[in-house]
Each structure stands twice: as structure tokens, then as C-alpha cells.
Chain A
Amino acid sequence: MAHPSTYQPGSGFERWLDARLPVVRVMHDQFVVFPTPRNLNYWWTFGGILTFMLAVQIATGVVLAMHYVPTPEGAFDSVERIMRDVNWGWFLRYTHAVGASMFFLAVYIHTVRGLYYGSYKAPREVVWILGVLILLLMIATAFMGYSLVWGQMSFWAVTVITNLFSSLDAVIPGLGTKLVEWIWGGFSVGGPTLNRLYSLHYLFPFVIAGVVLLHIWALHIPGNNNPTGIDVKSAKDTVPFHPYYTIKDGFALVAFIVLFAAIVFYAPNLLGHPDNYVPANPLQTPPHIVPEWYFLPFYAILRAIPNKLLGVAALMTSISILFFVPWLDTSKVRSTSYRPIYKWFFWAFVLTCIALGYLGSQQPEGWYLIFGRVCTIYYFAFFLVVMPVTGLIERPRALPGSITESVLGPEESGEIEETKNTKETKATPPPAARKRKREEVL
């Protein structure tokens, strides 16, 4: 793909296979020798962590499905049976439930990293769009999985979220109701609803896995962005993925697993709601319905708007607006580190998202509602006003001459001399073939 293959089949079998299905070659070229910017920081390790979390969720999910009963009568009890009777059931279920939270923690960090360092900008727009698509699929999957517990919060979350579609009645009378009954398979949330949510909850992770492959493929065409946001200019700017980033990603993954395990073993219900240990009751709404923490910012946006249809539209837009970020941002500089004005707006945006998360957990009354509206306005203004405008008016800080220079600094005279030569006089060009390939890439 992006660089010439350096794979040498080691054995007769490898030569035989390479001529028929060059899967070892692809792995070698993309995950062993793949040229990766030498300055990636720990915020770049979340891609690997996310891949691991997807694998954890699929592995634990598949085995939980061997014990789960997707009926209104059996669902809640089967979950309790998993917790009490099934061998290791408590461990598998807590890992799966906490795993969903850890998955979202990682995906939000990964997304904010992409936003901060401008990883969505050309030529990585498709990487970004596929990432947003994965986020949407994750949201749908997590929502459906939460419903399967069939506790009070599950049941009422399904009721509230599926009813979002009934807002379409305000556009075409009857359309929303028809759509909601189609989703329910009845006139209320019930057995048919639970059964189809189960079916789709099993399907979606594999769809995610497919889009993840495309996401990585699209990433490996231009190669990684990096904290400076400037392009790779010479072979010196990169190191092979293995061992440099396999080790770095591995270390970060272990640290992440420590946190994950700490929650699973010491506070497994920390992030859950106690009401979901009450079996679903279609005749009684809990006094305060809240989604899981990872949906709270979106929930706050929904409730900030007093009109049903517009509230739902804002909820949908708050996520889908991410698709347009590559074109909303007008700056020529990728990394926010070199953008003195935008930087402040950016951190204000991150704080706004955290504030929306808190507000989403509170009753929408009084000051909570007012702050919710202010934050909602800023959330959208960040994308629709700040991104296009700051890019045009801002004077970015001077960018380093190269990735290598940003790492070793100008005081490394030998380095800087060589870098300058390469850049200005081309006195010591890197091997010609390699350089030509790089230019194709960039």
C-alpha cells in the first residue's frame, strides 16, 4: 500500500502461501515495518486500546449469549442466573458491562485526540468519517445491550429512545407512530422489541469490526498524523511500528487494563444505575430516568430544547455534525498546539462536553436547564462558528521544520544541519526510491 513491501518469505511454506494469499506480507508491511512518525505521544495509544476493547466485548458477549434468555419473562432472571450460578458468570458479565464504559472512555479520548491534532484534515478525511461511523455504531450497540438486562432503566431507556422517532409525527402525521410500532413490533415496548434488540446487539459488533478494518486501511494509506501535525518529510521522521509502537501501545494497554480490572473487581457497579437491578415494570416509570454516563452529554442536549422534534433533531445533529468537521475547520494547520486562539475555544469545548455530561445527570429544572442551554449553544457554535472563523483570522505559531527537529530540537546541530540540507539544498537526499515513495504517499 503506502510503502514498498519489504517482506521476505522465510520458509517454503511462506513462499507458497505468499503466492496464493499474501496475508503474512500484509501483516509484515502494515504492522511490523510500517513507517510511523517518531513523535507519537500516549494519546496515540488509544487506537490499539480500542481494538482490544472490541475484542473483549465480542469475546465476553458471545459467551454471555450462551446463558441469556431474550424474553420479557426470562431476561432479568437469566442475567441474575449468570451473576449467581453460571461459572465465572459474574466475572464475564461485569467485564462486559464495565467494558462498555471503558470502550466509550477510550473512544472519547481517541476522538478528542483526533480533534485536537487535526487528524481529520486532508488527507485523512475518510479515516475520520469511518471513525464517526464506528462511534455511531457503538452508540447503537451499547444502547441495545443495555436494554437486554430488562431492568427498570433498561426498559424505560428503550421506551424513551424509541419514542424519539415518534417526533416525526410533527413532520408527517402518523409516520412517527408507524415507525415506532415497526421498531417495537407491537403497541408498546415488549417481547418482540427485546428479541430484535438482542439479535441486532449480536450483529452490530461484527459490523463495527468490519468498519474498523476499513478505518485502519484508510489510515495506512496516508499514515499516522502526529503531535506537530506536519507531514513526514524523510525516513528519519519515522520509526518502524514494531518494536517502537507495539511496545508503547502495549504499555499503555497494560495501564488501561489496570484501571479496567480495578473497576471490574472492586467497584463493578460504580458506573451503573441501581434502578437497573429492579425488574422492568411497564406500569411504573422510575422517578428519574438517566442513561449510562457515556450518553449523558447527548441526553442533556435533548432536554435543553423545549420542543420535541427540535430536541431530537439537536440530539441527532450533535453526533452527525462530526462527519462534517473536515470541511468546517478552515485552518491550514493541523495541530491545535500551534493555534493560539483556537486552542482556548477547543478546551472550552472539552469542558462544555464534560459540563453537559454532568447536566444530563440532573433534573432539567432551574439553573441546570439554563446551563444546559448555554452549553448546547456553545457545543454547536464550536463546530459552526469557531471552527470556520478561527481558521481564517488566526495567525498560527511557527511550525517546526520537521518531525525530527521537533523531537531533537535545533540545538542538536548535526541533526539540524542535515535536516536543513535535505530541505533546502537537497545535498544529502535519502535513498531515492524511498523518497519517491514518500512523496507519493504525502
Chain B
Amino acid sequence: MATYETPLNPTLEPDQEPTRRDVILIAASGFAAIGAAAALWPLLDQMNPDQSMLSLATTEVDISHVEAGQAITVMWRGKPIFIRHRTDQEIGKAKDVKLDDLVDPLARNANLPDDAPATDDNRAAKDREPWLVMIGICTHLGCIPKGQAVGDYKGQFGGWFCPCHGSQYDTAGRIRLGPAPQNLAIPPYSFASDTKIKIG
């Protein structure tokens, strides 16, 4: 009887050179894994904001009726936008704050570079100092801070106070006290005219 040079099941032999079968096994399972991963992507990506969400990108707001000391809240992309017409006293208070005293030294203003410092100028509307336009969502866990209505408690810095976990914001919407890590975010916006703001 002739003796067989190759054993019947080559994969059981550890010292054997890779055989054709090994190559086929690795290639086939490799491709199966890639295919499975590719098929998984639509299942995950379907959860991201869809086209109809993305198309709700801009909102125009008439601010002609907002007197100094008043504030309005409008919706943009399902989020509340705080538009505050600040008094001179509130502006002064915000300007007096030293940058070193801030929890978050960045302006968080989508209209400025990411590293812009959180000065009052960088927080307020460009060349329209009384106007402050912000996303009214606490940067801690997403509650809506109090301070828009006249009778609201505005916290010890006179800006906004989040009732959920006690974060306090100053009159430029900067975080001063409490667990929130960032200043209230400023959305991309511009003044379409003296009395109209285009958000987004």
C-alpha cells in the first residue's frame, strides 16, 4: 500500500504549511465578516437624524416687539432658542466678569472660531450688544433653564437658573455655578434686518 504524504485533515496538523483549504477558510470567513459588518451599517445609520429633520434648518424670528429687559423663546430644530434683549445694567454686569472667573473660558458661539474666548462681546450679537441669542438647553443634562419669564428666579448671577440640578448662568449665558460643563451654546444666526433674526 502506498503511504499518504498529506494527512486526511490538514488543519489538525499544527506544523503543516498552510494548505489551499486554510486559505479558502480564512478568505471565506473574512469576507463573511466584512459583509456582515457592511450589512450592519444601514441598521445603525437609520437612527441618525433623517432628511426631513435636516431640512428644518432655518427659522426667521421677528424681534421688533421685544423691549429691553424682555426675552422670548422660539423653536429651532426642535430646540428652544432664548432671545434676550438685555438692559444696560445686565450688559455691564456681564462685561465686569474676568475671564479667569469663568468655568468655561470658550465662547461656544457657532458664528465664531471654536477657540474664541467667552468675553461678553463674543457672546452677544455682533455689533448689537443688547441682543443675546442662545440655545436654551442646559449643557448639563438638557433641561430648559428658568429666567426667560419676568417673574422667574434667574440665579445669583441674574441670567438663568436650571431647576433640574441647580446650574446657574450669568447675563451672557455663561456657566458660573453648578454641574453644567459649558456655557449655553450659541446657534448659527444673523440679523436679516434690524427686527429680524435668521437662525440656522
Contact = CB atoms under 8 A, between A and B. Distances in A.
B165 interface: yes
Given A187-B79, A190-B78, A181 B49 contact: yes
Interface residues of A, number: 38
A289 B179 contact: no
A308 B79 contact: no
Contact of B78 (A162, A170, A187, A365): A187
Interface string A284-316: 111111000000000000010011110100000
A215 B144 CA distance: 42
A289 B164 contact: yes
Contacts of B142: 159-160, 162-163, 166
Given A182-B47, A187-B79, A188-B78, A170 B181 contact: yes
A214 to B, nearest CB: 24
A187 B77 contact: yes
A396 interface: no
B167 to A, nearest CB: 10
B127 interface: no
A123 interface: no
Contacts of A182: 44, 47-48
A162 B140 CA distance: 11
Contacts of A285: 143-146, 162-164
Q: Chain B interface residue count: which class?
A: 20 to 34
A442 B179 CA distance: 51
A196 B46 CA distance: 11
Interface of A: 156, 159-164, 166, 170, 181-190, 192, 196, 282-289, 303, 306-309, 311, 363-365
30 contacts: A156-B143, A156-B164, A159-B141, A159-B142, A160-B141, A160-B142, A160-B143, A162-B142, A163-B140, A163-B142, A182-B47, A183-B47, A184-B49, A185-B47, A186-B78, A188-B78, A189-B78, A190-B78, A192-B50, A283-B80, A285-B143, A285-B145, A288-B163, A289-B143, A307-B179, A308-B140, A308-B141, A308-B180, A309-B181, A311-B179
Interface of B: 44, 47-50, 53, 73, 75, 77-80, 137, 140-146, 162-166, 179-181
Given A159-B142, A160-B143, A170-B181, 6 more contacts: A188-B137, A192-B50, A282-B75, A285-B143, A285-B164, A363-B166
